[in-house]
Amino acid sequence: MEAKQETHNLVVGYILWAFGFLGAHRFYFGRPISGTIYFFTLGLFLIGWLVDLFLIPKMEREAEIRYIPGPIDYNVAWLLLVFLGFFGIHRMYMGKWLTGILYLLTAGLFGIGYIYDMWTLNDQITLINGRAGGGS
């Protein structure tokens, strides 16, 4: 029996949790609405951020079910987005060279593209991996 390729990783989730008072881990696990709420409330005034320390394993399991593994690694793309997103490195990694260069020249389209990618990166990767025959 072939081992299932993972999409999201607990260690990456906890690394992003360290920045979780800004919602990074929630975006990573495919929860953009609560990620946005965390961003504007500093992790629900740090209380939600602390509670998430215990909820991350559940969020990771749900993300594993929801997203398609394949040639684009979610973990690499997310780390590139969170730490280098304004430079478009995550888009170049996904093969989106034109928009990656555009992000590089415009600081992630003046921050708007960066926010857009926080909301949609998991779905963008799932589409690419699905086209590549991932998850089969």
pLDDT at 21: 75
User: Which residues contact residue 100 at a Cβ distance below 8 angstroms, ignoring those fewer than 6 apart?
Assistant: 88, 89, 90, 91, 92
Please indicate, yes or no, whether residues 75 and 131 belong to a single structural domain of this protein. yes
Give Cβ neighbours of residue 110 (< 8 Å, ≥ 6 apart): none
Residue numbers of the domain that contains 133? 71-136
26-50 as b/e, with b when 16 or more CB fall inside 10 Å?
A: bbbbbbbebbbebbeeebbeeebbe
The letter for the amino acid at 97 is: W
Among the listed residues 83, 87, 91, the one whose alpha carbon sits nearest the alpha carbon of residue 117: 91
User: How far does CA 110 lie from the centroid of its chain?
Assistant: 19
pLDDT for the residue numbered 136: 56
Residue at a domain's end among 66, 91, 109: 66
Is 132 among the domain residues?
A: yes
* pLDDT by residue, tens only, the chain of 136 residues: 456 789 999 999 999 999 767 899 999 999 999 999 999 999 999 999 999 999 999 999 999 999 999 999 999 999 999 999 999 999 999 999 999 999 999 999 999 999 999 999 999 999 999 998 765 5
Tokens coding 117: 């990618």
Place of tokens 């929630």: 26
Q: What's the domain count of the chain?
A: 2
Note whether 22 and 77 are same-domain residues.
no
pLDDT of residue 130: 95
Q: What is the pLDDT of residue 5?
A: 83
Q: What is the pLDDT of residue 85?
A: 94
Q: What is the pLDDT of residue 22?
A: 86
Confirm whether 2 is domain-assigned. no
131 and 80 fall within a common domain: yes
Q: Does residue 95 fall inside a structural domain?
A: yes
